[in-house]
Amino acid sequence: MPDLFAGAARRVINPPLGIRTFGFSSREGLVQAIESDLSATALVLSDGEGRVVIVATDTGWMDLPVMNGLRARVADAVGTAPSHVMVNLNHTHSSPAMPEWFPDEPGQIALQSRYQEDLCGWIVEAAREADDRMVAARIGAGRGECPIGVYRRETDPDGEIFLGEVPGHPTDPAVGVLRVDDLDGRPIATLFSYGCHPVTIGPRSMVASPDFPGAARALVENAIGGLSLFLQGCGGNIMPRGGLSMETDCRDEKDRIGSTLGAEAVKAAAAIHTHRKRGERRRMGSLSRISVWPWKPVTGPSCTCLSAADETLTLRFIDLPPLDEARAIRAECHDARETVAGRGGEAWEYLVTTRFADWSDRLVEAVETGGASIDVVVQAIRINDIILAANSTETFFETGLAIKARSPFPHTLALGYTNGCVCYLPRAENYPEGGWDIRKRWYGVPDLLFQAYSMPTAIHPESERRVVDRTLALIEGLR
């Protein structure tokens, strides 16, 4: 059996001041300060032949073609295949916008383009350095539970769904933890996963921030040592308890939420022993009858399997409207933007109407060209009896639970927001009974507001099932 080797490295990825953030249409302003360092951390694992790269980055969104190019660059830097590179976005809503996200003014697009180029370069550098720092290693897995997440699809007395809190609704409280140590048990990296929107830094705070994952990482690193990687799980319909922070200084709530999560990750990581285990029970020489279980070193192969696979899955949209209706919608959306601009409306109003105008352009284009599908990436990485199962959507917690329940491996981490972030992935039962209405503004239900991603219409309700089935097929292929 081969041995496992591991190395980790980090780059600070702070943006320039004056850049727009991607996360809130209601945020009226540009980045004025860095709340705490944003970072990208790379972990490279090898069995002496092949390599797997796991990158965790304080980035909210990246375009799928850009991400495909980044994964290819990372793969080339360390000598592996792009399918063996995983880039997980923590989805902080206080991270910089990317040039493909929004039809912004030329100065902003130029600023965002330079930042995106720098970001990709920093991630490649971190991966290359992690590869250079590899040493013999072992890996172990554990699990905790954390109560910071709350289901956010609340229903009002009229039966309308809006973004709120449903405290009694089930969630997935699991904190998946992986500990990678050298052969003496000294930590190289601690990976921990949880599914929850990073929005404790709210829309009135004009800062760039990793949000609560950054505070959680800091606590883990201070307590355990080494570097820590937060992997965003399936939090598409989960908010932090306490909801959206509306203060201008949100650090208190961010630190409280992050410390709660980080403490649970520390507790689970501290219980993982990679270099020693309890030996056989024996009696201690003493006047009293005392039995002990002495520690003994872990021996044998440290790597039984290291492999990965990915697949691009094409999801179809529901039926597009007739061309005349699409053009009428486009005219309405552009008129609405011009009206806001003409009366000197609020900045957030102009941002929202600009988003809908952009969406309406893409709607007409899709009808004219017959573009009725969207691509997502599904991926699985196996490390011994551990599986990281991921896809490039805002995935609901129920989908993550389904993948973990049906996985044949004892330790499965289900991740969204990975290798891109192309859309929400609601389940069939999350769609309204009367079907998705292209003219309705689903402001209260972001996961049905496909216009937020400038998608021409909703993805088909079968999409979530297909993503789950293909993810499980990849996992099965790695057995």
Report how far residue 105's alpha carbon sits from residue 110's, in angstroms, rounded to the nearest whole number. 9
Cα angle 216-220-92, degrees, rounded to a multiple of 5:
25
Residue ranges making up the domain that contains 319: 311-373+436-477
Enumerate residues 6+ apart whose C-beta is below 8 A from 254.
35, 200, 201, 209, 211, 212, 214, 215, 245
* Structure confidence by residue, pLDDT tens digits, 185-199: 999 999 999 999 999
**What is the total residue count of the chain?**
479
N- to C-terminal Cα distance for the chain?
Answer: 16
Q: pLDDT tens digits, residue range 224-279?
A: 999 999 999 999 999 999 878 889 999 999 999 999 999 999 999 999 999 999 88
Across 357-372, average pLDDT: 93
Looking at the structure, do residues 419 and 462 belong to the same domain, yes or no? no
d(CA 126, CA 7): 10
Give me the residue label for tokens 């290693």. 137
Backbone angles phi, psi at 450, to 5 degrees: -65, -20
**CB neighbour class for 355 (10 Å; exposed up to 12, middle 13-18, buried from 19):** buried
Instruction: Tell me whether residue 23 is in a domain.
Output: yes
Q: Indicate whether 326 and 217 sit together in one domain.
A: no
> 466, 308, 469: which is closest to 403 by C-alpha?
469
What is the token pair recorded at 408? Answer: 């044949």
Q: Grade residue 286 by pLDDT with cuts at 50, 70 and 90.
A: low
pLDDT tens, residue by residue, 308-342: 999 999 999 999 999 999 999 999 999 999 999 99
Gap between the Cα atoms of 195 and 417, Å rounded: 10
Within a domain: 164: yes
Helix, strand, coil share (%) of the chain residues, nearest 5: 35, 30, 40
Taking Cα atoms as reference points, which of 88, 358, 335 lies closest to residue 234?
88
Residue 305 lies in a domain: no
Q: Is 165 contained in some domain?
A: yes
* Residue 436: its H or E element: none
Q: What is the CB neighbour count within 10 angstroms for residue 282?
A: 10
Residues 236 and 343 in one domain: no
- Angle at which helix 251-270 crosses helix 212-224, to 10 degrees, equals 40
Q: What is the count of structural domains for the chain?
A: 2
21 and 139 fall within a common domain: yes
pLDDT of residue 160: 81
Structure tokens at 162: 């809006």
Structural domain contains residue 431? no
DSSP bridge partners of 238 = 151
Residue-averaged pLDDT of the chain: 94
Does residue 205 sit within a domain? yes
> How many CA atoms lie less than 13 Å away from 445 in the CB half-sphere?
20
Are 209 and 347 found together in one domain? no
Residues 247 and 212 in one domain: yes
Same domain, 460 and 367: yes
Separation CA 479–CA 477 (nearest Å):
6
**383, 306 Cβ separation under 8 angstroms:** yes
Left (φ > 0), alpha (ψ -120 to 50) or beta: where does 444 sit?
alpha
Single residue among 424, 444, 461 that ends a domain in this structure: 424
Same domain for 113 and 93, yes or no, is yes
The rounded distance, in Å, linking the Cα atoms of 419 and 381 is 13
Is residue 302 included in any domain, yes or no? no
Binning pLDDT at 50, 70 and 90, where does residue 287 land? Answer: low
Same domain, 365 and 268: no
Residue 394 has phi, psi (to 5 degrees) of -80, 95
Query: Which two tokens mark 25?
Result: 């249409």
Q: Are residues 153 and 225 in the same domain?
A: yes
Q: Are residues 87 and 13 in the same domain?
A: yes
CA angle (93 as vertex; 36, 469 as ends), nearest 5: 120
Name the band, by pLDDT with cuts 50, 70 and 90, for residue 348: confident
Task: Kindly indicate the confidence band of residue 1, based on its pLDDT and cuts at 50, 70 and 90.
Answer: low
Give yes or no: residues 67 and 212 share one domain.
yes
Residue 287, in any domain of the structure: no
